[in-house]
Structure 1
Amino acid sequence: MHTEIDTQYGSLRVVNEPMYSFESQDNVRSYPLEVRLANDSLTSIHGVELNGQGIMVVGAGGGCSAVHERSALVIGDRLYLAVGDHVACLSLELPYGQIWSTRVDTATCFGVYWDKKREALISHGELEIARLSLHGGLIWHASGADIFSEGFRLLPDYIEAVDFNQAIYRFDYATGEAVLR
């Protein structure tokens, strides 16, 4: 699986690298920069390519996450990547590298979203929905009764998440508090 994004720097591609081994010369693909977001075992590893060239590989712990259309987004010169239990902010300008990373869920981050109107960076986690600042600060996080596996949307007035039992949660963009409707 992979996802592709057109950027001001060219075509960006994020790929699953489940067999990648950090600090090894025996990987199928090589990346000049390796970014570890956890000191323990890595359960999710995503490679980042720009214009067909591998530029970095990012690994994190937590639950295993796969690459899909909501795994990454680009805002200006920054790539925001959901990998494992983290959202990482990576520079797309030379020198490529990690700007920050934040653990956003106690299990797995399913995706990262951007609401331009509110300048809201939102993480859809398995157990928690979180809002981050563009500098990596956790503004708020909220959880529900079960895992948020049945739907997630940014709507005009609130963020909607649906849990495993089909319970619908609506969170305020500014505070993360429940919105009653």
Structure 2
Amino acid sequence: MKIQTRFGEVELIDEGQVGYSFGSQDNKYQYPSEINFSEEPRPPVVLGIKLNSAPLIAFGGYGIGIQIGPHLSIALSDRLFVVFKRWLICIDLATHQLLWSIEADPINCFGLYHSSEHSALITHGELEVARFDEDGAKLWHTSGADIFSEGFKLEPDSILVVDFNGTKYRYSYDGGLRMA
């Protein structure tokens, strides 16, 4: 997946498919920064991020693969926000530095969304929906009766989520309170 930023083109790559090993000189791309959220030198899931075709940073984690898609990252101002496995990550595109990472869901994140009218970064997790500010503070999080796997939509006045059983949840932007 590629997105345009004021710093150039950002590309997200599934490096786990090619057997990326942290610290190895044998990888196709040499990332100047590697953050391994797993304890294995060769984690099963690896996300590589390139800026203007140059390797920038790689993240490793547990579980099964990742699906590179339109809701994996968002560029706002000079920052790139990325969901990877259960983490929300922020990278400064001007300095190429990792600013912070925080657990956004206990299991896995399906997507990252932004509502400019509410100045809200919203993560769609397997078990939780959460709102963050741009500095990584978790403002609220909420969950439902089952996995949030059947739908997610930012609406003008609320966040609509559908769980595995088809139950619909509508949450407020302000406090994550369930609305009727």
TM-score of the alignment, normalized to the shorter chain, above 0.5: yes
Sequence identity of aligned pairs in percent? 38
Q: Is 1:48 matched up with 2:49?
A: yes
Q: Distance in 1 between matches of 2:63 and 2:177?
A: 25
Q: Distance in 2 between matches of 1:63 and 1:102?
A: 20
User: 1:48-99 CA distances to partner (integer Å, 9 max, x unpaired)?
Assistant: 11111111112234665322110011001100001011010011112x1210
Q: Distance in 1 between matches of 2:44 and 2:178?
A: 32
What is the match of residue 101 of structure 1? 101
Unaligned runs of 5+ in 2: none
Moved more, 43-52 or 123-132: 43-52
What is the match of residue 69 of structure 1? 70
What is the match of residue 138 of structure 1? 138
Q: Distance in 2 between matches of 1:17 and 1:112?
A: 20
Q: Is 1:10 matched up with 2:8?
A: yes
- DSSP 3-state at the match of 1:87: strand
Q: Distance in 2 between matches of 1:99 and 1:47?
A: 17
Q: Distance in 1 between matches of 2:88 and 2:106?
A: 12
Contact 2:38 2:60 in 1 (8 A): no
**Residue type of the alignment partner of 2:6:** Q
What is the match of residue 129 of structure 2? 129
Q: Distance in 1 between matches of 2:79 and 2:38?
A: 24
- DSSP 3-state at the match of 1:117: helix
Contact 1:60 1:85 in 2 (8 A): no
**Residue type of the alignment partner of 1:15:** I
Runs of 4 or more off by more than 2 Å in structure 1?
Answer: 38-44, 59-66
User: Offset of 1:146 from its aligned partner?
Assistant: 0.9
Aligned length: 176
Tell me the C-alpha RMSD between the 2 structures: 1.5
**Residue type of the alignment partner of 1:113:** Y
Q: Distance in 1 between matches of 2:116 and 2:165?
A: 31
What is the match of residue 160 of structure 1? 160
Q: Distance in 2 between matches of 1:106 and 1:43?
A: 18
Contact 1:65 1:108 in 2 (8 A): no
- The normalised TM-score by structure 2 is 0.92
Q: Distance in 2 between matches of 1:137 and 1:60?
A: 22
Q: Distance in 2 between matches of 1:61 and 1:39?
A: 6
Contact 1:149 1:162 in 2 (8 A): yes
Pair 1:139–1:49, CA change in 2 (3 A): same
Contact 1:35 1:98 in 2 (8 A): no
User: 1:112-169 CA distances to partner (integer Å, 9 max, x unpaired)?
Assistant: 1110111101000011000011111111111111111111110001001111111111
Moved more, 44-53 or 161-170: 44-53
